[in-house]
Chains A and B, each alone.
Chain A
């Protein structure tokens, strides 16, 4: 009897021990080591700016290939020589390859950032929903800033691919099943989005902002809206919006064209919108950089030892250089192009250009000496940061250099162009606008400007910047300009083919 009792005791003890473990089983519903978005303290309104800063970070982390692919097709710039990234060279020749990773990357990164920006807006809205109504204006301003960034990405997608999707939520699958919208519809969308955003944005120059110095203001939104109108060839609205920017008297051309693209010109009074990069002046530690190496010379002798060169994937065209020499350009040519000795010899091999002005040299004004390169004869000066302006201890090409998205010169020239298309101006005359830009470049005044003259001015002023030239030429159907150096441009080359990986996943057809 006792034995059985003992046996029962032991069994109970064993069962209890097993059951004791059941209490451990609650643990399996826990996910340690992650901070869920739902767990942020949305009642702390002071943190409402955090998702906005996050949005700037999302917007600022552009892949190195994005600006390259957006602009390589223009007659102002070439891909650099043969070598790796052969299909990039092919693209410059208008031989498109839907399987090329750069196409997919540009498409995919733009859309994923749109979704991420939508998420940031959701977070701001969550803070807003718990905030005191006195913070609503601030919340609405943040939302408007993110809308501007999102619209710019949509704008680029439509410019490159035509029919694309509008994505306004964090659940893209519910939106893309509705199909794409046309390029024009996308431009209308951008205009409407900017109309929503503008009333909530600060009436200030980016460098007047104190909360996020250099951040997006009303004028970035207006600039983007004007660009969308321009794509729609609604020149009257282009003139209205750009005229309003001019009339705000907030902006002025930075007097020193060369330094506009260097440290001194960062967040200057000319810049309506720019992405800021920095290492915060420290030789080590955190950085927020764009990768400028693709723009850089493959070999150079930097004034400051150990500064690194680049990859030579972005070569100003001979057509552009000769165009500038023909115009008697000085500072704009010297700023826009880095010359190699081979490149200079190549220009001089044309008897018409045997004698070159003295500033055409393989030494930059800051004393960096550009060497010959396998890939390219020239490199972009607008994407060059003199080695002596890079923080000692940092060697990356263009380390910490900002990336300007829109500057006042472009606004003036957009305004002038619109007037030459017959729009009525509410501000300067077309001549005045063009001459402002020319004066800064050290050129004399002109009068009676025509569309051709504005476009020439735009090429001289804005070459190598964001494909402005290419998109101008296809907007005006000036295909002859794009058919240069053996290329043959036709209307069917305007848009890129959808990347195959996207065709496989989305309701798209090439």
Chain B
């Protein structure tokens, strides 16, 4: 190898002696917008392989002959060609390529030119992601990509829910596939936003089919930052700090409103509780008919949370090596007032080495060490229910230790209600350690044509969970001894990919072929144990199972594990003629041990495109700078589903026989035996750039069908719900993205972007003995039926409230109910008799809406003036419904508190409300049926992010050595507008019971590059 290298050098030297006209050319390459030097620009002598690239200051030097043409190219800029004349200095200004059509897009196992794409791929750049101060990368994508719905998670460290083009599968397997530098993930909570180079969302089946397996919910390709060869090291610090506040806090009924409701309920017991409260806590001096307590529980359980993030990184490269290394620390407090926080420390290195011009080798490593203290989400729910006439502390509650928390049982209620014991006496910690590594070797078998690459990826995640229940007593039987439960969960996933890529052109015919094989191994193991009555529980240092009661029967231990294997073969062909006519096809064969019926699935895709603007008749048309029509079809498999067992399985059980445990075995009588869930998608798209490269329009229409959808089918008599291939689900919609960019002059530029998405989710067919699939609980039913969205809310349609007795007497459905023993009074809800049989029965239930939004939209505005930058983005959705289950659970315990909206707007006399029942009505089964009274619109509009920045650059300070510095002020999700009676309309599955509210975040940031 070395010998050959020397030989080439010698040849080069000889050739330089041979041609005397050769001169040394040097110069600086700068960008047209900011006149800043561009490092890493490729400078090549046209028609040769000779060239160089610019250094950190944009300078280059090379030897060339007069008459040679130098080609300057750089990602994001239009290429420029300059003929070498007599001058030895050639400075070049590169124009920003607004359309960035030469931009290369990462597709599965390779790259493609954006202009050549036939499928639907959206790209989000690093600077867009960095604007959002969030622990999770995907949070930053919210509202930025058409067709991608992101539902925020409020809990620090939790990942948002991401859906690409609707929801086509049941159960938990709805995660999109994340491919980070080639490795597959369900969850990318270990990634720091700052380490990301680009994110590509493969939306349609044709684009993602190369990933076949698991691609059915869409693919998000993430490339982490790489160093650039021949560039000076760049050291960068980036950090921000800020505060998070709860937004749109639900207004609860205060003591006065609550007491009014209690008196109006007609329940003696409820009145008695109020009297008990007055007896115990005294009477209010303002209104002596109220207890001297008015607790706002949400106010009590929340706090402000701090967030901060600090990253340092260095990247650069020499002649043969490129590197990028960094470290990052993030800490985020939750807004729930307990030990609730997230802390993450990351280290990252990425190195690529050219062993020779044929052999490349590289490795990538991310180590992430996070600690997460999980919230007790039950507190959100309890704070809703806890009565305002109960204080936080009750010093008369002398049994309570160690803190005299008030217990609602003291004034007669059934439960203790007070959320504080949950908050103070629980400590739920997760230590999350993840290591992601990959290693590749790449060799060119035929130079620049045939490449072989083998990549091994390994991903180790260890999650140590420790839940400590501290002992407490709040009197009235609400007492607990200490206990600890521990679990060690280890995930180890490996992927080994081998690919052969062949690229060539024959005249105007350009062709790329790829073939490969991939082996996957996903293993999971969980070992857990628990013990009680911990000695020394007051000290965190003794929170180990060793200190629990040593009686072996009081300690439990359990283990479960799974391991899945997958094997895939795939191929891709991309062809274009003069960049005008595009053809694209992939095929992938996947085997997965999750499917016992037939582990193999075959997933083809094809695509075609026509770049009309390249046609002769379109040249210099003055309207379209670029115009492409494209169509694609593809199939892909989803193995992100519950695995089939393929056989009856057994469980160990115990019974009691004379107070002695006896162990035995039970077996299942039904089992799953599934084949692949297959997504088939058609996508039609248009890309257009017009008005002098200022306006770009991308539009897509898609129909996405899930065949053999694995659904929870009910098996009657055996009374089990089996995950079985049993239906077809369709998602279809239109996505439109508009972008306007303009540089008015050197100092001033602006951009405006908007995206719109429609979604129609529909169940096409179901194979179930009942013809429908029920989800949710009996009281809060969600039903999937043919012709309706999946998991739709299902209940009665409320058409008003009975205002007076005459109205009841005149209504046959009310009379039928009275005849059946119901007690219908003014203030009760009126339901629509859908089937017109004169009575309200189960058959009158209809679909009341879906939690999937029908329309989502996002937008952004960016303005740059000299060193100032301002950006704002917004996001909204409409057409989705939320089941307000916090409110709805009044059907289980109806003597507790409720939100102020319900208390204020209740029916309390003729004409007072035609929407809400009376206080007494809330306690009747008639009004407690699931109806659209409990289901609310989830429409919202939000100012997603506002950022103001100032960049200090090229200043004379410190003799011009003052580093490039950028200061930012960011308000993330500062304002949300909605009508829903809850904290936040972002509820992942549409059922709001104890959703962690999404805080607004205000931060100050600084970025320094040296």
Q: Which one of A55, A278, A506 has the greatest number of beta carbons of chain B within 10 Å?
A: A278
Answer yes or no: A27 CB below 8 A from chain B CBs. yes
- Tell me how far the C-beta of B358 lies from the nearest C-beta in chain A, rounded to whole angstroms: 10
Q: Indicate if A132 sits at the interface (CB-CB under 8 A).
A: no
Contact partner, A285, options B269, B555, B925, Cβ 8 Å? B555
Q: Which residues of B contact A302 (CB under 8 A)?
A: 477
Q: Is the CB of B591 within 8 A of A167?
A: no
Q: Which residues of B are found within 8 Å of A491, using beta-carbon distances?
A: none
* Those of B647-683 within 8 Å (CB) of chain A: 647-650, 653-669
Task: Tell which of B650, B719, B893, B894 touches A37, judged by Cβ atoms closer than 8 Å.
Answer: B650
- CB pair A172 B716 closer than 8 Å: yes
Please name all residues of chain A whose beta carbon is closer than 8 Å to the beta carbon of B770 when the two chains form the complex.
Answer: 501, 504-505
| Partner of A60 from B409, B655, B822 at Cβ < 8 Å | B655
- Residue A276, interface by CB 8 Å: yes
Q: With A and B bound together, what is the CA distance between A38 and B561 in angstroms?
A: 20
Question: What chain A residues lie within 8 Å of B744 (beta carbons)?
Answer: none
A213: interface (CB < 8 Å): yes
At the interface, yes or no: B913 with Cβ under 8 Å from chain A? no
Quote the shortest CB–CB distance from A37 to chain B (angstroms): 4
Q: Are B667 and A306 in contact (CB under 8 A)?
A: no
Residue of A nearest to B524 (CB): A33
The stretch from B105-113, B546-554, B619-627, B992-1000 touching chain A is B546-554
User: Are A11 and B591 closer than 8 Å at their CB atoms?
Assistant: no
Q: In this complex, which of A22, A119, A165, A311 has the most chain B Cβ atoms within 10 angstroms of its Cβ?
A: A119
For chain B, residues 749 to 768, give those with C-beta under 8 angstroms from any C-beta of chain A. Answer: none
Establish whether residues B655 and A56, one from each chain, have CB atoms under 8 Å apart when the complex forms: yes
If A37-B668, A119-B669, A286-B661 touch, whether A30 touches B593 (CB-CB below 8 Å) is: yes
Bound complex: CA of A175 vs CA of B669, how far in Å?
15
Is B454 touching A17 in the complex (CB atoms < 8 A)?
yes
Stretch of B252-260, B772-780, B857-865 on the interface side: B772-780
Q: Do B269 and A214 touch (CB < 8 A)?
A: no
B714 adjacent to A505 (CB under 8 Å): yes
Q: How large is the interface on B (under 10, 10 to 19, 20 to 34, 35 or more residues)?
A: 35 or more
Is A389 interfacial (CB-CB < 8 Å)? no
B945 at the interface (CB under 8 A from A): no
With A28-B593, A306-B477, A506-B716 given, is the CB distance from A119 to B668 under 8 Å? yes
Q: Is the CB of A53 within 8 A of B665?
A: yes
Q: Is B479 an interface residue (CB 8 A)?
A: yes
- Contact segment of B8-16, B42-50, B563-571: B563-571
Contact B593 A283 (CB under 8 A): no
Given A119-B666, A504-B771, check contact A165 B717 (CB 8 Å): yes
Measured between alpha carbons, how far is A104 from B653 in the docked complex, in Å? 26
Q: Are A276 and B565 in contact (CB under 8 A)?
A: no
Say yes or no: A40 contacts B650, CB within 8 Å: yes
Known: A14-B445, A374-B269. A308 touches B658 (CB 8 A): no
Binary A-proximity of B419-460 (CB < 8 A = 1, otherwise 0): 000000000000000000000000101100000101000000
B 886-923 to A, binary, CB cutoff 8 A, 1 in contact else 0: 00000111110000000000000000000000000001
Chain B residues with CB under 8 A of A58: 666
When the two chains form their complex, are residues B778 and A25 in contact, meaning their CB atoms are under 8 A apart? Answer: no
Which B residues are CB-close (under 8 A) to A506?
A: 716-717, 769
**Once the chains bind, are A53 and B445 in contact (CB under 8 Å)?**
no
Q: Is the CB of B842 within 8 A of A500?
A: yes
A424 close to B (CB within 8 Å): no
A256 within 8 A of B: no
Shortest distance from the beta carbon of A341 to any chain B beta carbon, whole Å = 13
Among A112, A118, A119, A284, which residue has its beta carbon within 8 angstroms of that of B719? A112
A277 CB to closest chain B CB (Å) equals: 6
A167 in contact with B717 given A21-B519, A33-B561, A54-B664 (CB within 8 Å): yes
**In whole angstroms, how far apart are the Cα atoms of A167 and B715 in the complex?**
14
Please give me the residue from chain A that is nearest to B498 by CB atom: A18
- In A284-302, the 8 Å CB interface with B consists of 284-286, 288, 298-299, 302
Minimum CB distance partner of A300 in chain B: B477
Residue of B with least CB distance to A99: B842
State whether A502 and B716 are in contact (beta carbons under 8 Å apart), knowing that A28-B591, A53-B655, A58-B666 are contacts in the complex.
yes
Of B521, B655, B893, the contact of A276 (CB 8 Å cutoff): B655
Q: Is A95 an interface residue (CB 8 A)?
A: yes
Query: Which of A83-91, A188-196, A241-249 lines the interface with chain B?
Result: A83-91
A-side contacts of B496, CB under 8 Å: 21
* Set of chain B residues within 8 Å of A84, measured between Cβ atoms: 891-894
> Which partner residue on chain A sits nearest B769 by CB separation?
A505
* Neighbour of A95 across the interface among B414, B500, B567, B820, CB < 8 A: B820
Which residues from B are CB-within-8-Å of A87? 925
The answer, yes or no, to whether A280 is at the interface (CB within 8 Å) is yes
Known A-B contacts A38-B647, A284-B533; the reply to A57 vs B666 at CB < 8 A is yes
Q: Which of A116, A284, A288, A305 is in CB contact (< 8 Å) with B531?
A: A284
| 11 interchain pairs, CB-CB under 8 A | A10-B445, A14-B445, A28-B593, A49-B664, A51-B665, A56-B662, A82-B923, A115-B717, A172-B716, A280-B656, A395-B477
Give me the interface of B with A, judged by CB distance under 8 Å. Answer: 267, 269, 409, 412, 414, 443, 445-446, 452, 454, 473, 476-477, 479, 481, 483, 496, 498, 500, 516-519, 521, 531-533, 549, 551, 553-556, 560-567, 591-593, 596, 599, 643-650, 653-669, 714-720, 769-772, 774, 777-779, 820-822, 841-842, 891-895, 923-925, 928
Chain A residues at the B interface, C-beta cutoff of 8 Å: 7, 10-11, 14, 17-18, 21-22, 24-25, 27-38, 40, 47, 49-58, 60, 82-84, 86-87, 90, 93-95, 98-101, 104, 108-109, 111-112, 114-116, 118-120, 122-123, 165, 167, 170, 172-173, 175-176, 207, 212-215, 267, 276-278, 280-286, 288, 298-299, 302, 305-309, 311, 374, 393, 395, 400, 500-502, 504-506
